[in-house]
Amino acid sequence: MPVICCGSVHHCKSPQRLMDKAGIGMCLSQPRGAGLSMLRTAVSLEGVEERDEEQEDEGEEDLRDGGIPFIVNRGGLPVNEETWEQMWRHVARIHPDGEAVAKRIRGATDLPKIPIPTVPTYQPTTSIPHRLEAIQKYIRDLQYNHTGTQFFEIKKSRPLTALMDIAKEMTRESLPIKCLEAVILGIYLTNNMPSVERFPISFKTQFSGSHFRHIVLGIHSGGRFGALGISRREDLMFKPLEYRTLADLLQEFQTAYQGYWHTLRKVKIGQYVSHDPHSVEQIEWKHSVLDVDKLSKEELRKELERHTRDMRLKIGKPAPPSPTKDRRKDMGSPLRNPGSPMRRNSRSERRLSGEKKALEPKPPADMNGYQIRV
C-alpha cells in the first residue's frame, strides 16, 4: 500500500519498522493526510526564521528537518532513558496517529530482524567510480532516519579527528542517519583514497513560504565531479563521477529541486577536506556562499570556476601537524567530551556573492497545500 514517509511516497510492507538490533530508528509511515499536520508545524516556525538564519551564519547547527524540529541525541550511545523517552514523545507529537503509533511499535513482539550493513572493502584493482558506488550503497543501506531524533551529534566546529571518531561510531552502531551524518561518514570512508578530493555542498531552498536545508559531500577525481550523501529523494544524494565542472554538478541538483517545486536560494561550498584522519584542522564548510537567485547563469558559472581554482590551490598547502599519540589520548572521544573548542571561521575569509537581502515579509503558507520536504 502506498504511504508517505516524512514526505516521500513509497511502499512499505509494514506500517512500522525497527531498523537496528537495539530497537531504535523506525520508519514512521504516514497516510496521505499527514501533509496538513506537517504544514501546520512548519508554519509555526516562521516566526523564528530570522533567528535561525542568524544562528546558521554563526555556525550553529540547523535543528530542523524539512521545516520540522528534530532532537539531537547529545548523550552518546547507548541512548539514555531520558533521550529515549523524549524521542517517543516527539514521535507522538509529529506523527498523525499520535501516541497510538508509539504504543503500537513499542508493544510489538514480532518485529522483523533488520540486517546490518557491512562496511565496503575493495580489491586493489577496483576503480574509483566502483568504490564510490559501494560507499553510497553502504550509506543507503543504513537508511534515512525518519524518527525525528538524530542519533549522532555532529558539531561542525570540532576538529576533523573528533568527527572521524563519530564516523567510526556510526559504522559500529549501524543506525539510520541524516544528511549531515552521511557527509561525515562519506569523508571517513574515502580517507584512504588520496586521488579523491572531498568538499561539503550545502543547499537552502524555498517552498510555500518556508526554507529547507540539505547537505551532500562533493567529490572530485580524475577531472570529474560527483557527490555522496543521503536524502528522502533518490536524486538529491548520490551523483556518479561524471560531471565535467562544478557548475554541471550544481545544475543537476537544481534541476532535481525544481522537480519538487523547490526554488534553490543559496549554495554554500566548502574547501577540500584533509585525508589525515588525525588532523586537528576544522572542515571549512562555507568558503563560497552563493546567492543563486541574485546571480545570472554566467555569473554563477564564474563563481563556481573561481571556487574550483581555490580548492586546487589548497592542495599544495601543508596541513597543520596532527596531535601526538599522547595528545590524542587527552582529547578523548567527542561523544564523552562535548566541550570541544568552539573556533569559528572568520567571515572575511568566506566568499560571498551578492548583498544580504533586506528582511521581507514572508507570504503565508498555503494551509491546503502540502509541505514537500526533501
- Active site residues per annotation: 179, 214, 231
Gap between the Cα atoms of 210 and 38, Å rounded: 12
Cell 577525481 maps to which residue? Answer: 221
Cell 574509483 maps to which residue? Answer: 128
**Residue 69 bridge partners (DSSP):** 64
Gap between the Cα atoms of 165 and 75, Å rounded: 15
| Amino acid letter for position 17 | R
Number of neighbouring beta carbons within 10 Å of residue 99? 13
214 contacts 266 by C-beta, under 8 angstroms: no
E-strand spans in the chain? 2-5, 8-11, 64-65, 68-69, 71-72, 149-150, 197-207, 210-221, 224-228, 239-243, 263-269, 288-291, 351-352
354 contacts 295 by C-beta, under 8 angstroms: yes
Using alpha carbons, list the distances in angstroms from residue 91 to 79, 85, 102, 105, 181: 16, 10, 7, 11, 21
Q: Which residues contact 91 (CB under 8 A, 6 or more apart)?
A: 28, 101, 102, 147, 148
Q: Which residues contact 97 (CB under 8 A, 6 or more apart)?
A: 104
